[in-house]
Homo-oligomer: A and B are copies of this chain.
Amino acid sequence: MSKLRIAVIGCGSIAKYRHIPEYAGNPNVELVAFCDPVLERAESFAAIYGARAYQDYKKLLEEVKPDAVSVCTPNSLHAPVSIAAANAGAHVLVEKPMAASETEGLAMIEAAKSNKVVLMVGHNQRLMPPHVKAKEILDSGRLGRVLTFRTSFGHPGPEGWSVDGRESWFFRKEEAIMGAMGDLGVHKADLIRYLLNDEVAQVAAFIGTLDKPGADVDDNAVCTLRMRSGVIGSLVASWTYYKGEDNSTVFWCENGVMKIGAQDGDQVIVELRNGTEERYKVGAISTNDKQESSGVIDAFVQAVVTGERPIIPGEEGLSSLRVILAAFESQATGRIVTL
Protein backbone atom coordinates (compact mmCIF):
# COMPACT_ATOMS: atom_id res chain seq x y z
CA MET A 1 0.00 0.00 0.00
CA SER A 2 1.29 3.45 -0.80
CA LYS A 3 1.58 5.89 2.09
CA LEU A 4 -1.07 8.44 2.92
CA ARG A 5 0.03 11.90 1.87
CA ILE A 6 -0.66 14.27 4.77
CA ALA A 7 -0.86 18.05 4.98
CA VAL A 8 -0.91 19.94 8.27
CA ILE A 9 -2.71 23.27 8.12
CA GLY A 10 -1.79 25.51 11.01
CA CYS A 11 1.66 25.05 12.57
CA GLY A 12 1.19 26.22 16.16
CA SER A 13 1.80 24.19 19.30
CA ILE A 14 -0.82 21.50 18.80
CA ALA A 15 0.66 20.77 15.37
CA LYS A 16 4.19 20.96 16.67
CA TYR A 17 3.86 18.81 19.78
CA ARG A 18 1.13 16.34 18.77
CA HIS A 19 0.11 16.13 15.12
CA ILE A 20 3.44 16.43 13.37
CA PRO A 21 5.51 14.11 15.57
CA GLU A 22 2.74 11.54 15.72
CA TYR A 23 2.35 11.53 11.94
CA ALA A 24 6.12 11.27 11.71
CA GLY A 25 6.01 8.21 13.92
CA ASN A 26 3.26 6.48 11.95
CA PRO A 27 4.61 4.12 9.27
CA ASN A 28 1.56 4.50 7.03
CA VAL A 29 1.91 8.20 6.25
CA GLU A 30 4.23 10.79 4.79
CA LEU A 31 4.06 14.48 5.59
CA VAL A 32 3.89 16.31 2.28
CA ALA A 33 2.85 19.86 3.08
CA PHE A 34 2.60 22.42 5.85
CA CYS A 35 0.65 25.65 5.91
CA ASP A 36 0.81 28.64 8.26
CA PRO A 37 0.25 32.38 7.88
CA VAL A 38 3.74 32.75 9.34
CA LEU A 39 5.48 31.11 6.44
CA GLU A 40 8.70 30.47 8.34
CA ARG A 41 6.88 28.09 10.63
CA ALA A 42 5.61 26.06 7.73
CA GLU A 43 9.01 26.16 6.07
CA SER A 44 10.88 24.92 9.08
CA PHE A 45 8.73 21.79 9.24
CA ALA A 46 8.85 21.40 5.48
CA ALA A 47 12.62 21.39 5.65
CA ILE A 48 12.66 18.65 8.24
CA TYR A 49 10.23 16.36 6.46
CA GLY A 50 11.10 17.12 2.83
CA ALA A 51 7.68 18.67 2.29
CA ARG A 52 6.29 21.85 0.78
CA ALA A 53 5.37 25.01 2.66
CA TYR A 54 2.38 27.27 2.10
CA GLN A 55 0.80 30.40 3.49
CA ASP A 56 -2.50 29.80 1.73
CA TYR A 57 -4.34 26.60 2.55
CA LYS A 58 -6.45 26.76 -0.62
CA LYS A 59 -3.36 26.81 -2.74
CA LEU A 60 -2.00 23.89 -0.75
CA LEU A 61 -5.12 21.86 -1.31
CA GLU A 62 -5.09 22.64 -5.00
CA GLU A 63 -1.43 22.02 -5.65
CA VAL A 64 -0.67 19.20 -3.24
CA LYS A 65 -3.96 17.34 -3.29
CA PRO A 66 -3.21 15.63 0.00
CA ASP A 67 -4.93 12.40 0.95
CA ALA A 68 -5.65 13.77 4.40
CA VAL A 69 -5.22 16.96 6.39
CA SER A 70 -4.95 17.97 10.01
CA VAL A 71 -6.72 21.25 10.73
CA CYS A 72 -4.76 22.95 13.52
CA THR A 73 -5.81 26.53 12.85
CA PRO A 74 -7.49 28.97 15.21
CA ASN A 75 -11.04 27.88 15.99
CA SER A 76 -12.69 30.30 13.57
CA LEU A 77 -11.05 28.53 10.62
CA HIS A 78 -11.88 24.97 11.65
CA ALA A 79 -15.02 24.86 9.56
CA PRO A 80 -13.94 26.67 6.38
CA VAL A 81 -10.63 24.80 6.17
CA SER A 82 -12.23 21.44 6.91
CA ILE A 83 -14.92 21.95 4.31
CA ALA A 84 -12.44 23.08 1.71
CA ALA A 85 -10.29 20.06 2.45
CA ALA A 86 -13.20 17.66 2.25
CA ASN A 87 -14.24 19.23 -1.01
CA ALA A 88 -10.71 18.70 -2.24
CA GLY A 89 -11.16 15.04 -1.45
CA ALA A 90 -9.01 14.97 1.67
CA HIS A 91 -9.86 13.15 4.86
CA VAL A 92 -10.03 15.60 7.74
CA LEU A 93 -8.79 15.50 11.34
CA VAL A 94 -9.90 18.75 12.94
CA GLU A 95 -8.91 20.05 16.33
CA LYS A 96 -11.52 20.80 18.98
CA PRO A 97 -13.85 22.62 19.22
CA MET A 98 -14.70 21.37 15.78
CA ALA A 99 -16.57 24.52 14.80
CA ALA A 100 -17.80 27.90 15.94
CA SER A 101 -21.48 27.08 15.60
CA GLU A 102 -23.87 24.22 15.08
CA THR A 103 -24.44 25.34 11.50
CA GLU A 104 -20.77 25.11 10.74
CA GLY A 105 -20.55 21.72 12.38
CA LEU A 106 -23.43 20.36 10.34
CA ALA A 107 -21.91 21.74 7.17
CA MET A 108 -18.63 20.00 7.93
CA ILE A 109 -20.38 16.68 8.49
CA GLU A 110 -22.30 17.14 5.28
CA ALA A 111 -19.15 18.02 3.33
CA ALA A 112 -17.41 14.91 4.59
CA LYS A 113 -20.39 12.75 3.78
CA SER A 114 -20.85 14.08 0.28
CA ASN A 115 -17.15 13.75 -0.48
CA LYS A 116 -16.96 10.34 1.15
CA VAL A 117 -14.06 11.33 3.37
CA VAL A 118 -13.44 10.73 7.02
CA LEU A 119 -14.12 13.59 9.43
CA MET A 120 -12.66 13.08 12.89
CA VAL A 121 -12.34 15.49 15.83
CA GLY A 122 -9.29 15.65 18.09
CA HIS A 123 -10.93 14.90 21.45
CA ASN A 124 -7.84 13.21 22.80
CA GLN A 125 -9.13 12.96 26.38
CA ARG A 126 -11.06 9.85 25.39
CA LEU A 127 -7.78 8.11 24.59
CA MET A 128 -5.88 9.10 27.71
CA PRO A 129 -5.11 5.90 29.60
CA PRO A 130 -6.81 6.98 32.86
CA HIS A 131 -9.98 7.68 30.92
CA VAL A 132 -9.74 4.39 29.07
CA LYS A 133 -9.43 2.66 32.44
CA ALA A 134 -12.32 4.68 33.89
CA LYS A 135 -14.52 3.72 30.97
CA GLU A 136 -13.67 0.08 31.50
CA ILE A 137 -14.53 0.32 35.21
CA LEU A 138 -17.84 2.10 34.65
CA ASP A 139 -18.75 -0.42 31.98
CA SER A 140 -17.94 -3.31 34.34
CA GLY A 141 -20.94 -2.28 36.41
CA ARG A 142 -19.22 -2.73 39.76
CA LEU A 143 -19.91 0.86 40.75
CA GLY A 144 -23.61 0.52 39.93
CA ARG A 145 -25.54 3.46 38.60
CA VAL A 146 -23.75 6.83 38.48
CA LEU A 147 -25.61 9.42 40.54
CA THR A 148 -23.62 12.61 40.36
CA PHE A 149 -20.26 13.84 39.12
CA ARG A 150 -17.76 16.65 39.08
CA THR A 151 -15.40 17.33 36.19
CA SER A 152 -12.91 20.18 35.97
CA PHE A 153 -10.20 21.30 33.64
CA GLY A 154 -8.20 24.28 34.79
CA HIS A 155 -4.69 25.55 34.18
CA PRO A 156 -2.93 28.93 34.18
CA GLY A 157 -3.93 29.73 30.61
CA PRO A 158 -2.71 29.09 27.07
CA GLU A 159 -0.02 31.75 27.16
CA GLY A 160 2.40 29.18 28.48
CA TRP A 161 1.59 26.75 25.67
CA SER A 162 0.96 28.80 22.56
CA VAL A 163 3.87 29.62 20.28
CA ASP A 164 2.73 33.23 20.44
CA GLY A 165 2.53 33.44 24.26
CA ARG A 166 0.44 36.36 25.45
CA GLU A 167 -0.11 37.43 21.85
CA SER A 168 -1.83 34.16 21.04
CA TRP A 169 -5.03 33.97 18.99
CA PHE A 170 -6.44 32.07 21.96
CA PHE A 171 -7.24 35.41 23.56
CA ARG A 172 -8.83 37.08 20.53
CA LYS A 173 -12.55 36.47 20.14
CA GLU A 174 -12.53 36.91 16.39
CA GLU A 175 -10.27 33.94 15.92
CA ALA A 176 -10.90 31.92 19.04
CA ILE A 177 -14.67 32.41 19.24
CA MET A 178 -14.51 31.02 22.77
CA GLY A 179 -11.85 30.89 25.47
CA ALA A 180 -11.47 28.35 28.25
CA MET A 181 -14.73 26.70 27.23
CA GLY A 182 -13.47 25.99 23.72
CA ASP A 183 -10.02 25.05 24.93
CA LEU A 184 -10.92 22.96 27.96
CA GLY A 185 -14.65 22.81 28.59
CA VAL A 186 -15.44 21.04 25.35
CA HIS A 187 -12.94 18.33 26.30
CA LYS A 188 -14.79 17.61 29.51
CA ALA A 189 -18.23 17.78 27.90
CA ASP A 190 -17.02 15.19 25.41
CA LEU A 191 -15.50 13.07 28.16
CA ILE A 192 -18.63 13.03 30.30
CA ARG A 193 -20.79 12.10 27.33
CA TYR A 194 -18.35 9.34 26.47
CA LEU A 195 -17.80 7.89 29.94
CA LEU A 196 -21.50 7.94 30.84
CA ASN A 197 -22.61 6.84 27.38
CA ASP A 198 -25.28 9.44 27.81
CA GLU A 199 -26.28 12.80 26.37
CA VAL A 200 -26.55 16.14 28.11
CA ALA A 201 -30.18 17.16 28.55
CA GLN A 202 -29.89 20.53 30.30
CA VAL A 203 -27.19 23.09 30.95
CA ALA A 204 -26.96 26.08 33.25
CA ALA A 205 -23.79 28.13 33.17
CA PHE A 206 -22.03 31.19 34.50
CA ILE A 207 -19.24 32.20 32.16
CA GLY A 208 -17.03 35.22 32.33
CA THR A 209 -13.70 36.90 31.79
CA LEU A 210 -12.59 37.28 35.36
CA ASP A 211 -8.90 37.94 35.24
CA LYS A 212 -6.99 37.25 32.05
CA PRO A 213 -5.50 40.54 30.90
CA GLY A 214 -6.15 41.44 27.30
CA ALA A 215 -8.54 38.57 26.66
CA ASP A 216 -11.91 39.21 25.07
CA VAL A 217 -12.98 35.62 25.51
CA ASP A 218 -14.09 33.71 28.59
CA ASP A 219 -11.43 32.63 31.06
CA ASN A 220 -13.76 30.84 33.49
CA ALA A 221 -16.95 28.84 33.27
CA VAL A 222 -18.92 26.99 35.92
CA CYS A 223 -21.72 24.85 34.53
CA THR A 224 -24.24 22.39 35.88
CA LEU A 225 -25.35 19.56 33.68
CA ARG A 226 -28.28 17.21 33.79
CA MET A 227 -27.90 14.11 31.68
CA ARG A 228 -30.81 12.38 30.00
CA SER A 229 -30.51 9.56 32.52
CA GLY A 230 -31.03 12.03 35.35
CA VAL A 231 -27.42 12.14 36.51
CA ILE A 232 -26.46 15.67 37.57
CA GLY A 233 -23.06 17.20 37.89
CA SER A 234 -20.78 20.19 37.50
CA LEU A 235 -18.41 21.01 34.68
CA VAL A 236 -15.75 23.65 35.16
CA ALA A 237 -13.27 25.19 32.73
CA SER A 238 -10.69 27.74 33.78
CA TRP A 239 -7.64 29.54 32.48
CA THR A 240 -6.96 31.07 35.89
CA TYR A 241 -5.93 28.08 37.99
CA TYR A 242 -2.54 29.71 38.47
CA LYS A 243 -1.90 27.14 41.13
CA GLY A 244 -4.01 24.10 41.91
CA GLU A 245 -4.18 22.91 38.33
CA ASP A 246 -6.89 20.36 37.88
CA ASN A 247 -7.92 17.83 35.27
CA SER A 248 -10.03 15.63 37.46
CA THR A 249 -13.35 13.88 37.27
CA VAL A 250 -15.17 12.22 40.15
CA PHE A 251 -18.21 9.97 39.90
CA TRP A 252 -20.31 9.18 42.96
CA CYS A 253 -22.28 6.04 42.31
CA GLU A 254 -24.64 3.60 43.98
CA ASN A 255 -21.82 1.35 45.10
CA GLY A 256 -19.00 3.79 45.69
CA VAL A 257 -16.88 6.48 44.15
CA MET A 258 -14.40 6.68 41.27
CA LYS A 259 -11.80 9.45 41.26
CA ILE A 260 -9.84 10.20 38.10
CA GLY A 261 -6.82 12.45 38.31
CA ALA A 262 -7.90 13.62 41.74
CA GLN A 263 -4.94 12.50 43.86
CA ASP A 264 -1.23 12.47 43.25
CA GLY A 265 0.30 9.14 42.50
CA ASP A 266 -2.73 7.18 41.45
CA GLN A 267 -4.60 8.11 38.33
CA VAL A 268 -7.79 6.18 38.94
CA ILE A 269 -9.08 5.27 42.38
CA VAL A 270 -12.17 3.22 43.09
CA GLU A 271 -13.58 2.99 46.60
CA LEU A 272 -16.50 0.65 47.04
CA ARG A 273 -19.05 0.56 49.83
CA ASN A 274 -17.95 -2.98 50.63
CA GLY A 275 -14.60 -1.57 51.68
CA THR A 276 -12.60 -2.50 48.61
CA GLU A 277 -10.15 0.06 47.30
CA GLU A 278 -8.61 -0.13 43.85
CA ARG A 279 -5.80 2.17 42.78
CA TYR A 280 -4.45 2.35 39.24
CA LYS A 281 -1.37 3.82 37.73
CA VAL A 282 -1.95 3.54 34.05
CA GLY A 283 1.42 3.04 32.55
CA ALA A 284 1.25 4.31 29.04
CA ILE A 285 1.23 7.93 30.16
CA SER A 286 4.63 8.18 31.56
CA THR A 287 6.59 5.00 31.21
CA ASN A 288 6.69 3.97 27.58
CA ASP A 289 8.52 5.56 24.75
CA LYS A 290 5.43 6.96 23.04
CA GLN A 291 5.05 9.40 25.89
CA GLU A 292 4.15 12.23 23.58
CA SER A 293 1.46 10.32 21.79
CA SER A 294 -2.14 11.40 22.16
CA GLY A 295 -3.22 8.38 20.13
CA VAL A 296 -5.49 10.62 18.08
CA ILE A 297 -3.35 10.69 14.97
CA ASP A 298 -2.90 6.91 14.90
CA ALA A 299 -6.64 6.48 15.32
CA PHE A 300 -7.32 8.88 12.46
CA VAL A 301 -4.87 7.18 10.15
CA GLN A 302 -6.33 3.81 11.02
CA ALA A 303 -9.84 5.00 10.18
CA VAL A 304 -8.64 6.33 6.84
CA VAL A 305 -6.66 3.23 6.00
CA THR A 306 -9.26 0.68 7.07
CA GLY A 307 -12.37 2.55 6.09
CA GLU A 308 -13.79 1.96 9.57
CA ARG A 309 -15.80 4.64 11.30
CA PRO A 310 -13.38 6.90 13.20
CA ILE A 311 -13.57 6.64 16.98
CA ILE A 312 -14.54 10.29 17.35
CA PRO A 313 -16.52 11.13 14.22
CA GLY A 314 -17.81 14.58 13.40
CA GLU A 315 -21.20 13.78 14.91
CA GLU A 316 -19.60 13.15 18.27
CA GLY A 317 -17.61 16.34 18.06
CA LEU A 318 -20.78 18.21 17.24
CA SER A 319 -22.70 16.75 20.18
CA SER A 320 -19.95 17.85 22.52
CA LEU A 321 -19.83 21.26 20.92
CA ARG A 322 -23.57 21.65 21.46
CA VAL A 323 -23.05 21.35 25.22
CA ILE A 324 -20.66 24.26 25.19
CA LEU A 325 -22.86 26.34 22.92
CA ALA A 326 -25.77 25.67 25.27
CA ALA A 327 -23.69 26.91 28.16
CA PHE A 328 -23.00 30.16 26.34
CA GLU A 329 -26.68 30.45 25.61
CA SER A 330 -27.48 29.90 29.29
CA GLN A 331 -25.06 32.64 30.25
CA ALA A 332 -26.50 34.98 27.64
CA THR A 333 -30.16 34.39 28.40
CA GLY A 334 -30.16 33.69 32.12
CA ARG A 335 -32.06 30.51 31.44
CA ILE A 336 -31.38 26.88 31.87
CA VAL A 337 -31.02 25.56 28.36
CA THR A 338 -32.53 22.29 27.25
CA LEU A 339 -30.76 20.48 24.42
Give the interface of A toward B (CB within 8 A).
Answer: 129, 133, 145, 147-148, 150, 152, 154, 202, 204-206, 208, 210-211, 220-226, 230-234, 236, 238, 240-244, 250, 252-257, 259, 266, 271-288, 330, 334-336, 338
Contacts and interface: CB of A to CB of B under 8 A. Distances in A.
Given A211-B254, A233-B222, A242-B256, A286 B279 contact: no
8 contacts: A148-B236, A150-B234, A202-B334, A204-B204, A220-B232, A222-B232, A234-B236, A244-B257
A250 B243 contact: no
Given A224-B224, A234-B234, A334-B335, A256 B277 contact: no
A118 to B, nearest CB: 28
Contacts of A283: 272, 274-277
Contact of A208 (B220, B230, B241, B279): B230
A149 to B, nearest CB: 9
Contacts of A280: 276-279
Contacts of A244: 250, 252, 256-257, 259, 271
Number of copies: 6
B220 A223 contact: no
Contact of A279 (B272, B279, B338): B279
Given A210-B232, A256-B244, A335-B336, A275 B279 contact: no
Contact of A275 (B211, B271, B284): B284
A257 B278 contact: no
Contacts of A257: 241-244
Q: Interface SS of chain A: helix, strand, loop or mixed? A: strand
A231 to B, nearest CB: 8
Given A202-B334, A275-B283, A276-B281, 14 more contacts: A204-B206, A204-B330, A206-B225, A208-B232, A210-B232, A222-B234, A223-B224, A234-B234, A243-B272, A244-B250, A244-B271, A275-B281, A277-B283, A278-B279
Nearest to A337: B334
Nearest to A211: B147
A138 to B, nearest CB: 15
A285 B254 CA distance: 21
Given A242-B273, A272-B283, A273-B243, A232 B206 contact: yes
A330 B334 CA distance: 11
Contacts of A334: 202, 335-336, 338
A283 B338 CA distance: 42
Contacts of A285: 275
B252 A238 contact: yes
A70 to B, nearest CB: 27
A295 to B, nearest CB: 13
Contacts of A253: 242
A224 B234 contact: yes
Given A148-B220, A257-B244, A275 B287 contact: yes
A275 to B, nearest CB: 2
B266 A279 contact: yes
Contacts of A336: 204, 330, 334-336
A220 B252 CA distance: 11
